Amino acid sequence: MSEERYKKFVELFKNPINRREMKDSSVIEVGRNTCGDTLTIYLKIKDGKIEDASYEGAFCAFSNASASQVTEFVRGMGIDEVLAIDKPKLFELIGDDLSDNPHRLSCILFPLNTVKKACEKYLDHTADNKPKPIPKSCAHCDSHNAELGL
């Protein structure tokens, strides 16, 4: 991948969109990528639609660029629509399929996967119209610790 193409990601890295804490979010999800990067996704959801989305914490240029774009384009989408976004759709939305830099695929997928986990968490906790408190947690760490019996 050329430095030129990198610049597109670097631009979003230097000037990220939606990189902010959201005090009145409906759900917060903390994601952890296998490389060690962590990301907090905030979603404000009303009537099954994403009213606002933001993030904090992504560290590398690729996850920042992806998080900036993902939080931008999920705004206005229904939860089902967000959960239906697949890889080709994501590539179309961010304008790159990383075919010449596959090592960074997980950086690009990471924000979307965390947004989807936030949506699933929201659905879990609002099922049957009986809202339960939504914990802030890290799905990766929880499952890892469960495997270790910790």
Helix axes 61-73, 105-126, angle to 10 degrees: 40
Rg from Cα positions in the chain: 15
56 is an interface residue for other proteins by CB under 8 A: no
When binding is defined by CB under 8 A, the residue of 26, 50, 54, 62 that contacts other proteins is 62
* Residues between 22 and 41 that touch other proteins (CB under 8 A): 35-37
99 is an interface residue for other proteins by CB under 8 A: no
Closest CA to 25 of 134, 104, 120: 134
When binding is defined by CB under 8 A, the residue of 20, 87, 103, 136 that contacts other proteins is 103
Q: What are phi and psi of 82, to 5 degrees?
A: -65, -45
C-alpha–C-alpha distance, residues 95 and 98, integer Å: 9
Taking the least distance from each CB to other proteins, the nearer of 26 and 113 is 113
Binding-site ranges for other proteins (CB under 8 A): 1-3, 6-7, 10, 13, 35-37, 59-62, 101, 103-104, 107, 148-150
